[in-house]
Each structure stands twice: as structure tokens, then as C-alpha cells.
Chain A
Amino acid sequence: MNLPSSVFIQATTLDEALKARARRPEARFVAGGTTTIPDQNLGRFQPEGYISLRRIPGLRRIEETGDGLFLGAGCTMADLLTNALLEDQPMIRLAARTTGTRQLRSRSTVGGNLFTTRTDRTLPPCLLALEAVAHLVSASGESRRDLGETLRVHRERGAEPEILVGVTVPRAAGFQDFTRVAPRNGAGNATASVALCVDPGRKAVRLGLGGAGPVAMRALEAERFAESAIDWEDRSLDETAAVEFGEIAAAHCDPPDDAIGSAAYRRHAIKVMARRILERAWVEMP
């Protein structure tokens, strides 16, 4: 058994984790550890305490609710690939399959993928396109927020004393798929990625982008354009509209410039991938 320590806390309740964080604001929450521990090992940061969320029951819950499918923040990519409730969630399954390696998928969590400060993770753009809602808890209570806003706020204000409990993925109809460019063909981080949902019933187009800004984001301008450009009655899409869709998505993002890829490369990749995936949506629409 562990001796009591003020720098390594294995919380067993959300309340305990929040109180530990209030006592030690410099401590990091850690769940799977697949981003934090390499950063520690390679000297990218000096740990000043860890608060482990792994032993909090309920964070690994996957269940159908009235609002859709709830995925606990502590669910691993392996859980997403094996849990039968995700059999009709092809995009989440694909994102999980392309995350990390098999060993990392045993540990890498939904919450970690969303709240890592990296923009190259595959799951966040998919959850944004699926219009997932974030469930958070802080000392002042529980709240539900738009996931995109939650990611932006987290990035801008830094680590808030709140914990992601999970996300609810509303039931989706129509086309959904995800594509990416990456340094290798196998699983791993993406240089840039796009996730698209097209729901003819709601006349809705949702485009999530990864590697397009400081955090994963929705391409709202491109979505609005596509929704008006699509002939929903005829279920048709003008060829030039798909091209413009890609151009608008690329024009309204702010991709990072780093050793993996230049901003110009990412912007071009987003333009091409957004066009192709929208074209494909009309061919493969169920």
C-alpha cells in the first residue's frame, strides 16, 4: 500500500481529486499518463505532484442515456474498440483505432485525448463533428458545456480546477467519417485531420478539424456554406461547391507551424481532405 504523500494522490472520488488540486494547484491530473509521463521522462516538464484519476469509479463508464451515448473520461481507446455499445459508432471506433499503438491504447483515455495541449490527436475532431457535450465537475458543482468551447477555454485559461467526467455523443444519422494525414500510415498522431458528419434529416453538416489551430475546432464557416449549397431535396451537391467547402475550411483555420509540418502544408491538406470527404459523403450516404 502506498504511504500517504502530498505530491502523489490516488483520488478515489471526484471531490477528493478537486480538493487535492485546491491544496496543490501546481499538481497535474493524470489518468492514462501516455502524454504526461513521456513529457516527464524526456524532461519537457518538471512534475510538481500528480493527482491520479484512475481509481475514481464511474470515470470509465460507457452507457446509453436519453441524450445519447455517454463515454466516461477515463475510458481507454481499447475500451472504445471493444465495448459493444460502440458498434454503431464507426467514426469513434476509427479514431480510437488510429490513436497511439496497441500498448498506448490500453492506457490512453478519452479525457487525456481531449485535454492534452496537443492538436494532433485524432479523437477530438471526431467528437466535435458528432456534437458531443462535455460533462465537467468543479468545486461549484456539475456543468454541461459545448465541447468546442470547453477545449478553447481550457487552452486559453490553462488548467482550470475542474475535471472532465465524460462526454455525451448524441445519436447521429447519415454519413460520418474521418480522415487524416500523418507521418506514418499506421496508427499514431495526425499532422492534420478532418471529421465530417452529414445528416440529411436535420439538413446539418458538421466538420471537425485537427491540426488546424491550437486545439481541435469546428469549421463553422464551411459548415454554413455547405448547408446552404447542398440541394437537400434532390440530395445533390455541385462539384464546385465541394471545392469551395475545402477552400473555406482552409481559409478559416490557423494551423501550427512545426517540425512535423508547415502551416501551409496543413492548410493545404485540410482543403483537400475536406473537399474529398464531402464528395465521398454523397457517394456513401446511407
Chain B
Amino acid sequence: MNDDATLSYTLRINGTDREVRGAHYTETLLEVLRYRLALTGTKQACEEGACGACTVLIDGQPVNACVELAAEAAGSEILTIEGYNPPDGSLTPLQQALVKHAGVQCGYCIPGFILAAETFLKEHPNATVDDIREGMDGNLCRCTGYSAIINAIAEVAEGNHAS
């Protein structure tokens, strides 16, 4: 391999600086997270930005880690599912709602759904079910048929509305 084609950089992930050494310039953020940093909560599936299983938050925005060059993410704040929960490990209201509504079956899509839904609710705290269906257009689930997941997100939005 041409040495010139490898890069070293620092990624700020879940509040911690992580050094990446000698990564090929074409490596995606998904590959670096999973195979260099062992952060396997970010899931690999379509690799073309269609399914949302690899959703992470970069500077607060939902992004498909599979279509982001890892080197491009240097200098940004990256949040993966490993950094999502409070330090005491308790479940967030969104996770509690997913459990209550049985929104998790095989679970593969769930890390992506949680991060995408969290930012969506932050931007649209009083979202209706129709808003949620459109806002979650970047996440596919092949088990649940969506209703349980959408209902869980809607319950969090209703809670926001009530409070």
C-alpha cells in the first residue's frame, strides 16, 4: 500500500479523543468505529446511506457513518450509541418507551433509530405521528413493521407536549 494513502488523525468520540493511526484515506467512519476502535454499537448494513443502521450524530446532526469518510469527521464531535446513555447506565425516556411498546425485535436497527429519533425530537419536540413517520425516513426496520417504534417515539413527543 502506498504510505501516502494512509492518514493519522484524532476523532472526538463520545467526549473522548481517539487516535487513529495509518488508516487508508478511503476508510469510512463506520469502518473506523467498528474495526479500528471496536465501537460495534454502530451497525453495518447497506453501506450506501439507505438504511440508517449506522446513524451517528456529528456535531448534533444525524449522519450515515457508512457514507462519511472518517478523516472528514476529524475536528467534529461524534456521538455513537455507546455514548448515548447517562453515565449511570439508566435508560432514557426514549429507550423506556421502546421497551414499553415492544419496539425492539432483532434490535439491529435500534442504535440508528435511537440516535435519529433523539435528534428529531430535539428539533421537533411536539411532533405528530405523521411528522415522526416523515422524520424517521432514514431508518429501515425489517422486523417490527414500524408501528411499535413510531408509537414509542410519539409517546415521548406527547410527554414533551404535556410537560
Contact = CB atoms under 8 A, between A and B. Distances in A.
Given A5-B5, A40-B26, A104 B69 contact: no
A50 interface: yes
A72 B147 CA distance: 39
Contacts of A103: 49, 52, 55, 62-64, 116, 138
Interface in A74-111: 78, 100-104, 106-107
B102 interface: no
B9 interface: yes
For the complex of A and B, list the 7 residue pairs with the smallest distance between their C-beta atoms, beginning with the closest: A101-B138, A38-B48, A8-B25, A103-B138, A41-B47, A37-B67, A106-B61
Contacts of B13: none
B136 interface: yes
Contacts, number: 101
Contacts of A47: 26
A1 interface: yes
Interface of A is mostly: loop
A107 B61 CA distance: 9
Nearest to A32: B67
B136 A102 contact: yes
A10 B69 CA distance: 12
A34 B62 CA distance: 13
A271 B83 CA distance: 52
B71 interface: yes
* Most-contacted residue by chain B among A100, A103, A104, A187 (CB, 10 A): A103
Given A50-B25, A54-B72, A103-B116, A1 B9 contact: yes
